[in-house]
Amino acid sequence: MEWETKLVSPEDEEGFAAAARALADGEVVGMPTETVYGLGADARNPEAVEKIYKAKGRPSDNPLIVHVASKETIPSLVKEITPIAQVLIDAFMPGPITVIMKKSTLVPYCVSAGLDTVGVRFPVHPVAQRLIAMSGVPVAAPSANLSGSPSPTKAGHVMKDMDGRIPYIVDGGECQVGLESTVVDATGNWPQILRPGAVTMEQMEAALDAAGISKPEELKLHEVSPDEAPRAPGMKYRHYAPSCEVKILGDGMHEDFSNYLEYYKQTVMHAILDGRTPVGLFVGEEIAQHLRILFADKEEQILYYIYGGTENVEAASQHLFDGLRTLDEKGAKLIAAPAFPEEGLGLAYMNRLNKAATANIAQVRKRSGKKIMFVCSGNTCRSPLAEAIFRSIFRSTGPHHMIGHPEIEAKVDACSAGAFASGDQPYTPYSVRIAKYEYDEDISGGTSHIAIKERLVSQDLVLCMTDDHSHFLRERFPDLSDRIFSFRELLSDYDIPNVDGEVPDPYGGDYLEYMETAKQLDRIIRALMPEILKHWEME
Ligand code: TXA
Ligand code: MG
């Protein structure tokens, strides 16, 4: 906590002036705009800009947008205003658009992240304009969220992410647009949208057309697909993903009200059946009314966030980030949100919604592979057998998938090691035989490994035959103790009764003794498997 962050109302003359002064003095201030809240600092001052990256917790190789409070400031920031840039400035500024032009030397490379261009934005929000004008500096600002959370659309969101990190947040109420500005590269002879927003391609084309500029022939012939267009560098950064799955309802095409009601109904019913409640609904007023009646007796399993009229894409866009944040914070296990037609503002809405949905899937996919290690003393009898039995049971009870994602296969790699092993000893023949004939697992030719730190760090779970083993490993590797357990400890953690978790060493015994060991391991692993998988969000 470097600062005691002050929330300033625009009516508070003194506080407001102090925030503007802080900006001029090279500090970072939370600032409202019509799109989302920004984290502003003097764009000409590299030390001030550095503080933005620090507050935000994001790498300093993503370019920042420079905000101005008048069109007259723009020429000083750029080397060239192309004819199309001029049209866009005339037609859409002030407003929710960022126009990328070649930068002037006034803009340091820490703002442009080493690029020779700069994104310029003139917000229409009166409080933003007053603050920038009063500070007297061009204001570099990214969205005011911590890296990995959604862009803030209310002062409270900024406070949540930035409390203690910056001196002032100016409260300008809820943002009108709710989605970040359209980012458009205007360095060439036709605009290229790098990020869709409230200013649409249709509107830009109309403005350019009115100014007598039409689409160049080569572009008409060969439509530039979004994949070929230079990408906003920001696209490679981690995007906001709620901690649960985001489900997009419908495809936005030819849908009518009754279809959507049906999608919500199905989603709620499935969520209840699957135990994925509370289910969070980002939903229109009319549909919510129907659902409230339909699911009157299930009130506590449904979280409603009503964005406005069901078909109102402006309202859905304005409240999307707040809706995702709110439902996530309230503990939704699944969030459902409607698709809108991908035209006009719907394009920007779907762009952000798809990102929230796929970022979550990417995270689930990353979690879909786990590693488990079994540990005994010498890694020749018990643990190789446990490894084989685990694999066999996992296979025969599968296929497994990630909870809520039947399309993503769950994988677990099993291995084994010895706490006191000498290494390179062959597995005992009885273990190899039982693995093969009882469990259809070939571990022949395997040799012992020592449970050294390098092997343990990559494991998600290390399961030991006895408490002696787990105590020994935890003592040796205290920083890995969160993943080391004995069978007995885990069985008792999960309150599983009547399964003996201490597995004695059959070493030197006959085949029957090894079979007893195998049966005990079988009982333990079968009992633990569902709990372990659930813990890993697998089923
Ligand atoms: O609505 C908005 O644009 C908000 C408010 C605060 O103005 N700002 C915002 O900033 O969303 P940020 O940093 O979160 O996103 C800016 C996006 C990033 O994807 C960045 O890579 C891209 O714009 N961008 C900025 N300058 C660029 C440049 N010179 N070339 C290409 N992309 C650029
Ligand atoms: Mg951002």
Q: What is the CATH number of the domain that holds 164?
A: 3.90.870.10
- Cα-to-centroid distance, 237 and ligand 2 (Å): 9
Q: Are residues 162 and 84 in the same domain?
A: yes
Number of domain units in the chain = 3
Instruction: Residue 121: count other Cβ atoms within 10 Å of its Cβ.
Output: 24
Which numbered ligand comes closest to the C-alpha of 232? 1
pLDDT tens sequence across 370-424? 999 999 999 999 999 999 999 999 999 999 998 877 778 999 999 999 999 888 9
Ligand 1 pocket, residue 115 CB under 6 Å: yes
Give residue 326's pLDDT.
Answer: 96
Ligand 1 pocket, residue 152 CB under 6 Å: no
Domain boundary among 210, 232, 267: 210
pLDDT tens sequence across 311-324? 999 999 999 999 99
Ligand 1 pocket, residue 35 CB under 6 Å: yes
Q: Are residues 461 and 327 in the same domain?
A: no
Q: Are residues 342 and 387 in the same domain?
A: no
Ligand 1 pocket, residue 128 CB under 6 Å: no
Which numbered ligand comes closest to the C-alpha of 68? 1
Residue 151 is assigned to a structural domain of this protein: yes
Give residue 254's pLDDT.
Answer: 63
Report CA-CA distances (Å) from 361 to 118, 194, 243, 333.
33, 23, 10, 14
- Rg of the chain (C-alpha set): 29
Q: Are residues 92 and 166 in the same domain?
A: yes
Entry pTM: 0.74
User: Shortest CA distance to 139 belongs to which of 170, 111, 167?
Assistant: 111
Calculate ∠ Cα 315-316-319, nearest 5°: 85
- Cα-to-centroid distance, 183 and ligand 1 (Å): 7
Print the SS3 string covering 219-243: HHHCCCCCCCCCCCHHHHCCCCCCC
Ligand 1 pocket, residue 303 CB under 6 Å: no
Pairwise CA distance, residues 6 & 15, whole Å: 9
DSSP H or E segment with residue 14: helix 13-24
Atom in ligand 1 nearest the alpha carbon of residue 141: 6
Spatial contact of 517 and 500, defined as CB atoms under 8 Å apart: no
Q: Are residues 83 and 159 in the same domain?
A: yes
Spatial contact of 230 and 191, defined as CB atoms under 8 Å apart: no
Residue 400 is assigned to a structural domain of this protein: yes
Give residue 417's pLDDT.
Answer: 97
Q: Are residues 297 and 154 in the same domain?
A: no
Q: Are residues 262 and 287 in the same domain?
A: yes
Residues facing residue 195 across a β-bridge = 183
Ligand 1 pocket, residue 34 CB under 6 Å: no
Atom in ligand 1 nearest the alpha carbon of residue 180: 1
Give residue 230's pLDDT.
Answer: 39
Q: Are residues 383 and 330 in the same domain?
A: no
- Give the contacts of 468 (CB within 8 A, at least 6 positions apart): none
Residue 227 is assigned to a structural domain of this protein: no
pLDDT tens sequence across 126-144? 999 999 999 999 999 999 9
pLDDT tens sequence across 35-51? 999 999 999 999 999 99
Residue 387 is assigned to a structural domain of this protein: yes
Minimal-distance CA residue to ligand 1 atom 24: 63
Pairwise CA distance, residues 33 & 120, whole Å: 14
Give residue 240's pLDDT.
Answer: 64
Please check the confidence at residue 229 and state whether its pLDDT lies above 80.
Answer: no
Residue 236 is assigned to a structural domain of this protein: no
Q: What is the CATH number of the domain that holds 255?
A: 3.40.50.11030
Pairwise CA distance, residues 457 & 476, whole Å: 13
- Cα-to-centroid distance, 235 and ligand 1 (Å): 10
Spatial contact of 125 and 32, defined as CB atoms under 8 Å apart: yes
Residue 255 is assigned to a structural domain of this protein: yes
- Give the contacts of 442 (CB within 8 A, at least 6 positions apart): 435, 436
Residue 239 is assigned to a structural domain of this protein: no
Atom in ligand 1 nearest the alpha carbon of residue 117: 29
Which numbered ligand comes closest to the C-alpha of 229? 1
User: Shortest CA distance to 120 belongs to which of 129, 130, 112, 110?
Assistant: 112
Q: Are residues 316 and 401 in the same domain?
A: no
pLDDT class of 149 with cuts at 50, 70, 90: confident
Ligand 1 pocket, residue 232 CB under 6 Å: yes
Q: Are residues 195 and 56 in the same domain?
A: yes
Pairwise CA distance, residues 537 & 406, whole Å: 12
Minimal-distance CA residue to ligand 1 atom 7: 38
Residues facing residue 447 across a β-bridge = 426
Q: What is the CATH number of the domain that holds 475?
A: 3.40.50.2300
Q: How large is the average pLDDT for residues 430-437? A: 97
Ligand 1 pocket, residue 182 CB under 6 Å: no
15-19, 214-218, 256-260, 350-354: range with lowest mean pLDDT? 256-260
Tokens of 114: 């080493």
Please check the confidence at residue 537 and state whether its pLDDT lies above 60.
Answer: yes
Domain boundary among 358, 382, 409: 358
Minimal-distance CA residue to ligand 1 atom 32: 232
- Cα-to-centroid distance, 512 and ligand 2 (Å): 64
- Cα-to-centroid distance, 238 and ligand 2 (Å): 10
- Cα-to-centroid distance, 179 and ligand 2 (Å): 10
Give residue 222's pLDDT.
Answer: 52
Q: Are residues 291 and 331 in the same domain?
A: yes
Q: How large is the average pLDDT for residues 274-291? A: 95
Q: Are residues 101 and 127 in the same domain?
A: yes
Question: Helices in 233-278 by DSSP H: which ranges?
Answer: 257-273
For residue 253, the SS3 value is: coil
Beta strand 411-418 with 6-8 is: unpaired
Residue 221 is assigned to a structural domain of this protein: no
| Host domain of residue 406 | 369-531
Domain boundary among 313, 336, 358: 358
